[in-house]
Structure 1
Amino acid sequence: MTRLTRLIAGVIISATVAAPLGAWAADDFPTRSIRVIVPVAAGGWGDVTTRVICQRLGEILGQSIIVDNRTGAGGLVGIRYTKEQPADGYTLMSTGSTLAIQQSLNKEPGYDALKDFIDVGTMVRSPALIVTSSKSTYKSLSDLLKDAKEKPGTISYGSAGVGTTTHIAAAMLLKKAGVQMQHVPYKGNGAAMPDVIAGRVSFLIDAYGSSQPGLNGGLLRALAVTSDAPVSVLPNLPTAAQQGVPGFSYYYWLALFAPAGTPPDRVKKLSDALAKTLNDPKIKSRLQSEGTEPFYASPTESEAFLRKDLETTSQVIKDTGIPKQ
C-alpha cells in the first residue's frame, strides 16, 4: 500500500469512527455538573423551590446541579450574567416574572428575554398571600380596602423593592380595587417583614412558603390569597376576588432558561428531565405542601407563556404609572 493510499484509508476510517462517537457524545450530555443561576437571595420562595426541583432533576440527569445565587439590581445581575455564559447547557437560570418585569421597567435592561434566552420549560406557579400583622385591626382584605377608600393615600404597604413582583402584584391589586396607598419599598421581602409584623406598614404581598413561619407563629394574619380559588393549604382563606376585587388573580411562576444558542438536543434532554421531575409524586407532594403547584410546559409552550407575560407586565407598568428606571 502506498503512502497516499494509507493516508486516504486512514481518513475514511477516522470519519467512520468519528460519526457515531460524535452522536454518542451529544446523547451523553450532561457529563459534568450543571449550574442554575438564581437571581434572588437565598431563602426566598424562588430559591427554595428551585433547590427542591434541582435536587431531583440532577438525580434524573445523573449529574449534580449547583444552585448559584447571583443577586442585585432587582435580578438584573443574575439575568445579565446568565446571558453571557457559554450556550452549552451547563449554565441555566431559574426565574419567572422578574425576567418580564425588569425588561419592561428598565430603559436599558441589558437583555431581550425572547432573543437572549431559550425556554427549557416552566416549572411551578404559586399564588401570593396578602398578609398583615396579627395585631392589626384588619380581619380581612375587605376591611383593609374599605379603610383605604375612606382614607386615600394615607395607608402604606411594603414591597421587596420598586418593580419587584411584590410591588407589581400590589399595584395591580390596588388599581383593580380603585384605591390609593403609599408604597414603601424595601431591599427584599425579608427586610420588609419586621415592619409588617410591627404594624409600621399595613400589608405585604408574599409567597406562602416565606409567610408560613409568621402565620404559624402567630405574628402574621393572612387577609386573602391571590389565586383564582381558595388553596388547599389554607382552605378557609378567601381570595381577593371574593373580597371586592373581582377578576383579580396573581401567581408567582418559575421557569428554567438557557442562554440563546444552546443546542436543541440538549434543551430537549433538559426539558424532558424537568417534566419527569415535576411528575414525581414526592416532588408534587413537597411543592403542594408549600402552596406551590407543578406547572410544566414544553419549551415552545413556555416561550408563548413568557411572550404573554411580557405583554401583560409592560401594560401593567404603563397603567399603574410606575416610572421606568
Structure 2
Amino acid sequence: MLVAATCAYSNIASSADFPSRTIRIIVPVSAGGWGDVTTRVVAQKLGDVLGQSVLVDNRTGAGGLVGIRYTKEQPADGYTLMSTGSTISIQESVNKEPGYDALKDFTLVGTFARSPALVIAGAKSTYKSLGDLVADAKAHPGQISFGSAGIGTTTHIAAAMMLKQANIQMQHVPYKGNGAAMPDVIAGRVSFMVDAYGSSAAGLHGGLLKALAVTSDSRLPVLPDVPTTAQQGLPGFTYYYWLGLFAPAGTPKEVVKKINDALEKVLSVPALKAKLEAQGTEPFYKTTADSTAFLKKDLTDNQEMIRTMGVPKQ
C-alpha cells in the first residue's frame, strides 16, 4: 500500500511539474514531407508556450509503422509524443499485424492541422489538367503509373480513391517516402503523385512540378489557378490530410490537458495561422474528447474505404 501511495504521489507531482525537460515529437515520415514540415512549425511555438524545448525526431520506415510502434513503447509521461494523422488509421486497416491498436495504445491529445492534397506531375509532363491524365489513363488502362510514399500511406490511399471514382486503373509504384518518389515524378518516370502543398511547394514554385488539381472543397488561395478535382469531372471528391499529437496510452490526464491547452494557444496565434496558410495548410484544433471521436470516425471510414477499394492486407 505504501509503495502504491508513493507511486501515486509521484505521478501527481510529476504531472504538476510538467514539463520540466525537453519534449520529443516522433514524426513517422521522412524529413521534408508535409507531416514533418507542419509539425516543425507547430513544435517551435508549442515549446514557447510550454516553456521547454520541443524537438522533432523522424523515425521512418514501413509506411509509418516504425515510428508508431516506437512511440507506443515509450513512457506514458508526456515527454514523448507523436505527430501523425490518417496514417495511423490506414496502417491499422491495411496490415494483418500492425503491432498496435490506435484507440487502446494511444491518446490523441488533439488535432492541429489539415491540408488538401494536390495531384502533381513533372513540369515537363504533357498533361495540362486532371482531365488530360484521366483521358490518357482510360485510353491506356493499366499502363500509366503513379507514385506514392508507400503502400497504405495517405499518398497511396488518396490516389487510389481518386482513381476509383474516375473509374480508371493505373500501376502503383510505392517508394520509401515522398522524398524518394519526388525525383521520379519530376523526371516523368511516374505520371503523377498525390502530395500536400507544404511538401511540394518548392518544386511547384521552382519550376520542377506542376499541379493538375487540388482535392479541397474550393481552390487554394496560394494556388488560385489550380482547379479542384470536383471542378474537373469528379463531383463531390475531396480529400484532406490531417495531423494530431498522440501520446502513449496511460499518459496522465493533467499532462494531456496541458498539451492540448498549449495547442489551442499556439493555433490561435495570427502569425502561425498565416504561416500555415501560406503552406496550403489550415489550423485544425479539436479538444481531446472531440479528437478521440474524430479518430474513431477516421478509423471506421478508412476501414470501410480500404475494404471497398479492395486494398489487400499486407
**C-alpha displacement of 1:239:** 0.4
**C-alpha displacement of 1:68:** 1.2
Q: Which residue of 1 aligns with 2:280?
A: 291
Q: Which residue of 1 aligns with 2:134?
A: 145
Q: Residue 24 and residue 111 in structure 1: after superposition, are their counterparts in 2 closer, same or farther (change >3 A)?
A: closer
Tell me if 1:160 matches 2:168: no
- Whole-angstrom distance in 1 between the partners of 2:94 and 2:283: 28
- Corresponding residue SS for 2:55: strand
**C-alpha displacement of 1:316:** 1.8
Query: What is the CA deviation profile of residues 205-256 of structure 1, one whole-angstrom value per residue up to 9, with x for unaligned ones?
Result: 1111221111112121110001111111111211001101111111111000
Question: Among 104, 107, 110, which residue is 1:121 paired with?
Answer: 110
**C-alpha displacement of 1:22:** 8.5
Q: Which residue of 2 aligns with 1:112?
A: 101
Query: What is the CA deviation profile of residues 271-317 of structure 1, one whole-angstrom value per residue up to 9, with x for unaligned ones?
Result: 00010011111111111111010000011111111111111111221
Tell me if 1:203 matches 2:192: yes
Question: Among 208, 230, 255, which residue is 1:219 paired with?
Answer: 208
Q: Which residue of 1 aligns with 2:84?
A: 95
Give the counterpart letter for 1:197 in structure 2. Answer: I
Give the counterpart letter for 2:259 in structure 1. Answer: L
Residues 30 and 178 of structure 2 are in contact (CA less than 8 Å); yes or no, is this contact kept in structure 1? no
Q: Which residue of 2 aligns with 1:72?
A: 61
- Whole-angstrom distance in 1 between the partners of 2:173 and 2:77: 41
- Whole-angstrom distance in 2 between the partners of 1:216 and 1:31: 42
Question: Among 174, 183, 192, which residue is 1:185 paired with?
Answer: 174
Aligned residues: percent identity?
70
Length-normalised TM-score, structure 2? 0.94
Q: Residue 22 and residue 139 in structure 1: after superposition, are their counterparts in 2 closer, same or farther (change >3 A)?
A: closer
Question: Among 250, 257, 261, which residue is 1:272 paired with?
Answer: 261
**C-alpha displacement of 1:28:** 2.8
- Whole-angstrom distance in 2 between the partners of 1:23 and 1:113: 26
Q: Residue 201 and residue 266 in structure 1: after superposition, are their counterparts in 2 closer, same or farther (change >3 A)?
A: same
**C-alpha displacement of 1:150:** 2.1
- Whole-angstrom distance in 2 between the partners of 1:181 and 1:275: 42
Higher mean alpha-carbon deviation, 167-176 vs 201-210, is at: 201-210
Q: Residue 222 and residue 22 in structure 1: after superposition, are their counterparts in 2 closer, same or farther (change >3 A)?
A: closer
- Whole-angstrom distance in 1 between the partners of 2:107 and 2:199: 29
- Corresponding residue SS for 1:121: strand
Q: Which residue of 1 aligns with 2:183?
A: 194
- Whole-angstrom distance in 2 between the partners of 1:320 and 1:22: 46
Residues 143 and 171 of structure 2 are in contact (CA less than 8 Å); yes or no, is this contact kept in structure 1? yes
Q: Which residue of 2 aligns with 1:314?
A: 303
Query: What is the CA deviation profile of residues 146-185 of structure 1, one whole-angstrom value per residue up to 9, with x for unaligned ones?
Result: 2212221111111111111111000000001111111111
Question: Among 48, 55, 70, which residue is 1:81 paired with?
Answer: 70
- Whole-angstrom distance in 1 between the partners of 2:122 and 2:56: 33
Give the counterpart letter for 1:288 in structure 2. Answer: E
Q: How many residues align?
A: 308
- Whole-angstrom distance in 2 between the partners of 1:26 and 1:186: 41
Give the counterpart letter for 1:263 in structure 2. Answer: P
Higher mean alpha-carbon deviation, 50-59 vs 145-154, is at: 145-154
**C-alpha displacement of 1:31:** 1.1
Tell me if 1:47 matches 2:36: yes
Q: Which runs of 5+ in 1 are unaligned?
A: 1-14
Higher mean alpha-carbon deviation, 262-271 vs 22-31, is at: 22-31
Tell me if 1:30 matches 2:19: yes
Higher mean alpha-carbon deviation, 147-156 vs 254-263, is at: 147-156
Q: Which runs of 5+ in 2 are unaligned?
A: none
Q: Which residue of 2 aligns with 1:234?
A: 223
